[in-house]
Amino acid sequence: MSVAGFTSTGSKHPQVLFGTVSADTPVRMIASHGCTVVGSDGRSYLDFLMALGAVALGYGHDEVNRSAIEAVQQGGIGSLAPAQEELLAGDIAEMMPGLEQVRFLKTGAEAAAAAVRLARVITGRDRVLGCGYHGWLDWCSASGGVPEATRSLYREIPFNDAEQSVELIRAAGGSLACVVLEPVIDAAPQVEWLAAVREACDHVGALLVFDEIKTAFRVSPGGAVQRWGVQPDLTILGKALANGFPLAAVGGKAELMGRVRDTWISSTMATEWVALAAARATLRVMREQQVTTHLHLMGGMLLAGLRLLADLHPVLIERASGIEELCNLHYRNEDVARRVALACAERGLLFKRNAYNFVSLAHSAAEVSMALDILAAVLREQERAMPPGRNTG
Ligand SMILES: Cc1ncc(COP(=O)(O)O)c(C=O)c1O
């Protein structure tokens, strides 16, 4: 094995996906189309992981591919700032009016780090409060190798808990540069929570940053801001922005974004234009085909099915959680989660056991119902296989 730790995307490690593997478990893949991935053994799997949410139109979407191929044929990269960059910034501003200006980067983690850097420059302060996952970089990470001095600048606020969040923001007070939050964590945000955080940030003079890497282009055309009506100062985009081509962005009001002049945020590859062209095509499809309505409908069907399965199998499942566009089953324990994920894969379904499942434009009611049928069969089988005395609710 030559890739250290098996794969460069930690969340695609078989141990993370399935908990354990058998000889038949798909661990590497060779192709993807629509809502299907093809394992290296040539077998096709109906997919609800959608590259960890990076794809909302379906894999290999024709219009996105055509734009990307054209960009490749036009060289893909060069020595001047590409025209595509300015055009895409305009497209984003049209869909998300709060994003008057943006800067592009390649990964969500980079875009989040750029937002924090900007907030620190704008406020002249160091401390950051966060809620959710914002990538692997030092500013928000407690993993090995992060200096204690860096860790000490970051703290979490609790999702949907207005009282505690406001208390932590006020306690950080004059040293707080920003609050970075994911608008959806296992549930929809309470508008009162978002509004309380907004007000507390204004009170102490800190910026509010929405990390919309999972929610943008899914929960509504204008993202969480449009769906829940609270406006952040800066917004971070990634994942579905270019339907799987590597692209992320940070954006906000021109007056705030203009402060990039006071720091150094730059990446050689940020202006290759294959991903920029893919993103322009993605946003075009988003606008023309009411993609977020489709995701809401298909996701609604999935979530309703998951809730029904949770009611039918309380011994195995604690609850169904999330919102229509990103949802999940919480199993009673890790062993059940592992067995269900493996049994689903054996039947040709990739269904996340401990994080969100995503629908895409390529998922129709037929695929959602196929997934629910497989899950129902697997859960019945798992419940029957439980030792006597444990299969009562
Ligand atoms: C909300 C959120 N922020 C940031 C990131 C980091 O993005 P990336 O993995 O592209 O660096 C992720 C990735 O899962 C995410 O879900």
Residue 167: give its domain's CATH number. 3.40.640.10
pLDDT, average across residues 103-118: 98
Predicted confidence at residue 391, as pLDDT, reads 53
What pLDDT digit, counting tens, does each position of 159-180 carry?
A: 999 999 999 999 999 999 999 9
Query: Which of 238, 255, 288 is the last residue before a domain boundary?
Result: 288
Q: For the residues 75-95, what does the mean pLDDT come to? A: 98
* Gap from CA of 184 to ligand 1 centroid (Å): 13
112 lines ligand 1 (CB under 6 A): yes
The reply to whether 111 and 205 lie within a common domain is: yes
Mean pLDDT of 125-143: 98
Q: Of the residues 288, 313, 331, which one is the last residue of a structural domain?
A: 288
- AA identity, residue 368: V
Which range, 10-24, 288-302, 374-388, is most confident? 288-302
The residue whose CA is least distant from atom 13 of ligand 1 is 135
Instruction: Give the model's confidence band at 121: pLDDT under 50 very low, under 70 low, under 90 confident, else very high.
Output: very high
- The yes-or-no verdict on residue 20 having pLDDT over 90 is no
Does the Cβ of 182 fall within 6 Å of ligand 1?
yes
Q: Is the pLDDT of residue 31 over 60?
A: yes
Q: Ligand 1 pocket, 107 CB below 6 A? A: yes
pLDDT at 248: 98
Ligand 1, atom 4: closest residue by C-alpha:
134
Query: Is there an atom of ligand 1 within 6 Å of 109 CB?
Result: yes
253 in the same domain as 232: yes
- Mean pLDDT, range 270-298, rounded to an integer: 98
Task: State which of 256, 288, 320 marks the end of a domain.
Answer: 288
* Within a domain: 51: yes
Residue 108 CB–ligand 1 contact under 6 Å: yes
Largest CA distance in the chain: 70
Q: Is residue 169 part of a domain?
A: yes
Does the pLDDT of residue 390 top 80, yes or no? no
Question: What's the confidence (pLDDT) of residue 393?
Answer: 44
18 and 131 fall within a common domain: no
Pocket test for ligand 1, best of 8, 133, 211, 357 (most atoms within 8 A of CB): 133
Residue nearest to atom 6 of ligand 1 (CA): 135
| Same-domain check for residues 183 and 319 | no
357 is a domain residue:
yes
Strand ranges in 157-223 using DSSP code E only, listed in sequence order: 176-181, 207-211
| Phi, psi of 38, rounded to the nearest 5 degrees | -110, 120
Does 393 reside within a domain? no
- Indicate whether 102 belongs to any domain: yes
CA 18–ligand 1 middle distance (angstroms): 20
Q: Give the SS3 label for residue 263.
A: coil
Q: Are residues 297 and 279 in the same domain?
A: no
Residues 236-265: tens digit of each pLDDT:
999 999 999 999 999 999 999 999 999 999
Q: Is residue 236 helix, strand or coil?
A: strand
**295 in the same domain as 231:** no
Q: Decide: 238 in ligand 1 pocket, CB within 6 A.
A: yes
212 lines ligand 1 (CB under 6 A): no
| 170 and 125 both lie in a single domain | yes
Q: Is 211 in the pocket of ligand 1 (CB under 6 A)?
A: yes
> Are 101 and 132 found together in one domain?
yes
Does the residue 131 lie in any domain?
yes
Please give the pLDDT value at position 5: 95
Ligand 1: centre distance to CA 1 (Å): 26
Q: Residue 89 C-alpha to ligand 1 middle, in angstroms?
A: 20
- Domain annotation covers residue 305: yes
Distance (angstroms) between ligand 1 centre and the Cα of 133 equals 7
Q: How many domains does the chain have?
A: 2
The verdict on pTM exceeding 0.85 is yes
89, 224 Cβ separation under 8 angstroms: no
- Ligand 1 atom with the smallest distance to the CA of 182 is 1
Tell me, yes or no, whether 167 lies in a domain: yes
CB 216 within 8 A of CB 235: yes
CB-ligand 1 contact for 343 (6 Å cutoff): no
pLDDT reported for residue 22: 84
Q: Is 218 in the pocket of ligand 1 (CB under 6 A)?
A: no
Q: How far is the CA of 325 from the centre of ligand 1 (A)?
A: 16
Residue 386: predicted pLDDT: 82
Mean pLDDT taken over the chain: 96
Kindly report the protein residue whose alpha carbon is nearest to atom 14 of ligand 1. 135
Closest C-alpha among 382, 297, 341 to residue 45? 341
Atom of ligand 1 nearest to the CA of 11: 14
Burial (CB count <10 Å: 0-12, 13-18, 19+), residue 122: buried
**CATH no. for residue 29?**
3.90.1150.10
The atom of ligand 1 lying closest to the CA of 107 is 10
Nearest Cα residue to atom 10 of ligand 1:
108
Q: What pLDDT sits at residue 1? A: 79
Pair 307, 318: CB distance under 8 Å: no
Same domain membership, residue 244 and residue 117: yes
pLDDT at 392 > cutoff 90: no
- Centre of ligand 1 to C-alpha 216, Å, is 12
Q: Are 282 and 305 within one domain?
A: no
- The percentage of the chain sitting over the pLDDT mark of 70, rounded to a whole number, equals 99
What's the distance, CA 215 to chain centroid? 6
Those residues with Cβ within 8 angstroms of residue 263's Cβ, 6 or more apart along the chain or in another chain: 117, 118, 121
pLDDT value at position 240?
A: 97
| Pair (44, 116) in one structural domain | no
Question: What's residue 387's pLDDT?
Answer: 78
Q: How far, in Å, CA of 223 to CA of 50, rounded? A: 19
Are residues 240 and 347 both part of a single domain? no
Domain that holds residue 19: 10-60+291-384
